[in-house]
Structure 1
Amino acid sequence: MSRSLNKVTLIGNLGSDPEVRATPGGNRVAQFSLATSRTWNDQSGTKQEKTEWHRCVVWNTKGSQLADIVERYVKKGDKIYVEGRIEYRQWQDKDGQTRYSTEINVRELILLGGRREGGDMDGGESYSAPRRQAAPAPQRAATGNARPAAAGAGAGGAAGNDDFEDFPGALEDEDDDLPF
Structure 2
Amino acid sequence: MLNRVILIGRLTKDPELRYTPAGVAVTQFTLAVDRPFSSQGGEREADFIPVVTWRQLAETCANYLRKGRLTAVEGRIQVRNYENNEGRRVYVTEVIADNVRFLESNRDSGGYRDDMGGGSGGANANYGAPSGNSNARSNNSSYSRGPSADPFSDDGKPIDISDDDLPF
The letter for the 2-side match of 1:68 is E
Count of matched residue positions in the alignment of Structure 1 and Structure 2: 147
Conserved? CA contact 1:80–1:110, under 8 Å: yes
Change (3 A) 1:160 1:27: farther
- The answer for the alignment partner of 1:150 in structure 2 is 137
Aligned counterpart in structure 2 of residue 173 of structure 1, from 131, 156, 161: 161
Cα offset for 1:130? 6.3
- The answer for the alignment partner of 2:153 in structure 1 is none
The letter for the 2-side match of 1:52 is D
Provide the aligned C-alpha RMSD in A: 3.1
Aligned counterpart in structure 2 of residue 69 of structure 1, from 56, 60, 69: 60
Change (3 A) 1:39 1:129: same
The letter for the 2-side match of 1:125 is A
Q: Is 1:59 equivalent to 2:54 in the alignment? A: yes
- The answer for the alignment partner of 2:35 in structure 1 is 38
The one of the two structures with greater contact order (alpha-carbon pairs below 8 A, sep at least 6) is: 2
What is the TM-score of this pair, normalised by structure 1?
0.69
Give the secondary structure class of the aligned counterpart of 2:47: strand
The letter for the 2-side match of 1:71 is A
What is the TM-score of this pair, normalised by structure 2?
0.74
Q: Is 1:49 equivalent to 2:44 in the alignment? A: yes
1:49-128 equivalences in 2 (<5 Å): 49-60=44-55, 65-115=56-106, 116-117=112-113, 120-121=119-120, 123-128=121-126
Cα offset for 1:55? 0.3
Cα offset for 1:134? 9.5
- Which runs of 5 or more residues in structure 1 are unaligned? 137-148, 164-170
- The answer for the alignment partner of 1:168 in structure 2 is none
Distance in 1, matches of 2:132 and 2:26, equals 21
Give the secondary structure class of the aligned counterpart of 1:150: helix
For 1:94-119, what per-residue CA distance to the aligned partner results, in whole angstroms no more than 9, with x for missing partners? 11100011010000011011245595
Cα offset for 1:120? 4.4
Cα offset for 1:158? 3.0
Q: Is 1:22 equivalent to 2:19 in the alignment? A: yes
- Which runs of 5 or more residues in structure 2 are unaligned? 107-111, 150-158
Distance in 2, matches of 1:76 and 1:112, equals 13
Change (3 A) 1:134 1:50: closer
Conserved? CA contact 2:10–2:71, under 8 Å: yes
- The answer for the alignment partner of 2:109 in structure 1 is none
Structure showing the higher helix proportion among its residues? 2
Conserved? CA contact 2:11–2:30, under 8 Å: yes
